[in-house]
Amino acid sequence: MNDIDEYTELIDQRLRSYYEAISKEARTYHPFIGDVSAQVGEFLLRRGKRIASCSTLLTYKGYTGKIDDILDVCVGIELYRHGILIHDDLVDRDKQRRGGKAFHRLFAHDDRFGESLAVFYGNILFSQALKTLFESNFDVKCIGKVIELFLDDYKAVNESQTLDLLFEYKEPTVEEWYVMASKRAASLFRVCMLTGAILGGAPAQDLQILEEAAMHVGYSFDIQDDVIGTFASEEQYGRSTDGDILLGKKPLHVIYAYQLANGKEQDELRSIIRAEKVGAEEIDRTREIIKGCGALAKAKETSRDHARKAIELINKTSMSDESKNFFKDFINFVAESLDWYK
């Protein structure tokens, strides 16, 4: 994608400087708090494409032509996002995140110790994200709108995670999946894109368009991410890909399988997903059923349909061509990468 490595490096530099200062301040309070703060900084700075904060940066640049003023806000976006990830990994019992240990597994002592720190520091990251916004150089009225956006969407993403947890214990409909997904990745992209647009002085019409576009980007991304979580190899994903099946998650491709598979296969799928212990053979069989009945293909096409709608909306905005192309390249990448998983 255009220049994303350059923008990622700029955000990483600002994020590194921020956490060096935070860790130094924390150490004056207590050496252990300083050590944990340094671990948080390491967790945040693990290499990866910073799609969330780059979305904010490119939206802002699309309306102003500038990037310097928005970099501190991009730090806030990353703090916000990683606070959610720390809690998400804890709830889903994930062991790894981007090639390293999940945050709750970084510490000595027992599981309760690491899990408790994950709760505390997920909360701390959210407070730091808001403080970063307060201390930015933008107009107070605009920052107030952005903070309201953060608060609304933080509540939304936690409601979504609540439903995602519930769905491990019931069979949701497609409509229920959309209710849940409307506040998952869709909320993150809404925060990221609208933050850049509000601070960049985007016209009201564009704000409405971008909000709708963010929903479609989020749906497309969520479906793709769930497909990866079921069908990617461990080498492709960077961590084990059987976690969703073991937890009884109900991504869209599983819900479609309940509709499209024959009665015997549906019973078999339910039996595997409800089982307390699932082995490699059962996981492979789950994948076979989802692919064989056409549920995987239908989920892929649904993701691509949302991608098409998102691009149509992005094209209607008055953002610069560079920023439009960034989003179109990212959205197309999400849609095209679905072909890797068969």
Per-residue model confidence (pLDDT) at position 171: 94
Number of domains in the chain: 1
Report yes or no: 320 and 62 within 8 Å, Cβ to Cβ.
Answer: yes
243's CB contacts (< 8 A; 6+ apart) are 92, 93, 94, 229
Per-residue model confidence (pLDDT) at position 1: 53
Q: What is the pLDDT along the chain (342 residues), one digit of tens a residue?
A: 557 889 999 999 999 999 999 999 999 999 999 999 999 999 999 988 899 999 999 999 999 999 999 999 999 999 999 999 999 999 999 999 988 999 999 998 899 999 999 999 999 999 999 999 999 999 999 999 999 999 999 999 999 999 999 999 999 999 999 999 999 999 999 999 999 999 999 999 999 999 999 999 999 999 999 999 898 766 655 556 566 787 889 999 999 999 999 999 999 999 998 887 888 899 999 999 999 999 999 999 999 999 999 999 999 999 999 999 999 999 999 999 998 877
93 is in which domain, residue-wise? 4-340
This prediction has a pTM of: 0.93
What CATH number did the domain enclosing 305 receive?
A: 1.10.600.10
- The position carrying tokens 């107070």 is 140
Per-residue model confidence (pLDDT) at position 275: 83
Q: Interior CA angle at 81 toward 77 and 85, to 5°?
A: 165
Q: Residue 101 pairs with which residues in a beta bridge?
A: 96
